[in-house]
Amino acid sequence: MRDQEHRPVTLDGSAEPADVVAVADGAPVHVPDDAVAAVHRTHVMSRRLSTRVPTYGRTTGVGANKSVAVADDDQGLRILRSHATEAGPRLPARAVRAMLAVRLNQLCAAGSGIDPAVLRPLERMLNDDALPTVRTYVSVGTGDLGALAGTALTLMGERPATRPFAPMSPWGTDSALPFISSSALTIGRTCLAAETLGRLDRAAAVVYALTFRGLDGNPSVLSPAAVRAAASPGTDAVAERARLLLQPEGPGGPAAWQPARIQDAFGLRTFAVSQGAVTHALDTLTRQAARLMASAQENPLFDVAGEAVVHHGGFQQVALGLALDACNLAVAQTGPLVMSRIGMLDEPGLTGMRAFLASGPEGASGLMAAEAVAGATLAELRAAAQPASLGSVTISRGAEEDASFASQAITQTERAAAAYRTLLACELLGAVRLLRRRDLGLPAGLLRDAFDLTRTLPRDDTDRDLSADIDIAEGLLDDLGQVLT
Give per-residue pLDDT as tens, 235-246.
999 999 999 999
Q: What is the pLDDT of residue 6?
A: 81
Q: Given pLDDT bands bounded at 50, 70 and 90, which one contains residue 66?
A: low
H/E/C letters for each residue in 291-343? HHHCCCCCCCEEECCCCEEECCCCCCCHHHHHHHHHHHHHHHHHHHHHHHHHH
Is omega for the bond preceding 336 within 30 degrees of 0, making it cis? no
The candidate with the shortest Cα–Cα distance to 447, out of 485, 475, 483, is 483
**Which positions ≥6 away from 219 have C-beta within 8 Å?**
212, 243, 246, 247, 255, 259
C-alpha distance from residue 344 to each of 210, 267, 447, 477 (Å): 13, 9, 20, 21
- What percent of the chain lies above the pLDDT cut of 70? 93
Q: Tens digit of pLDDT for each residue in 381-430?
A: 999 999 988 877 776 666 666 667 888 999 999 999 999 999 999 999 99
Question: Is pLDDT above 50 for 128?
Answer: yes
Q: What is the pLDDT of residue 72?
A: 62
Q: Can you give the length of the chain in residues?
A: 485
Let me know: does 131 contact 97? Beta carbons within 8 Å. Answer: yes
Give the residue, 304 or 440, on which the prediction is more confident.
440
**What are residue 25's phi and psi, to 5 degrees?**
-90, 5
Q: What is the pLDDT of residue 55?
A: 78
Mean pLDDT of 431-460: 95
Mean pLDDT of 426-438: 98
* Angstrom distance (rounded) from CA 16 to CA 145: 23
Give the residue, 16 or 112, on which the prediction is more confident.
16
- What percent of the chain lies above the pLDDT cut of 90? 74
Give the residue, 31 or 5, on which the prediction is more confident.
31
- The pTM score is 0.94
Average pLDDT, the chain: 91
Mean pLDDT of 257-280: 96
Rounded to 5°, angle at Cα 260 from 257 and 263: 115
> Which of 25-39, 112-126, 131-145, 153-167 is predicted least confidently?
131-145
Question: Is pLDDT above 50 for 341?
Answer: yes
Question: Is pLDDT above 90 for 310?
Answer: no
Question: Is pLDDT above 90 for 186?
Answer: yes
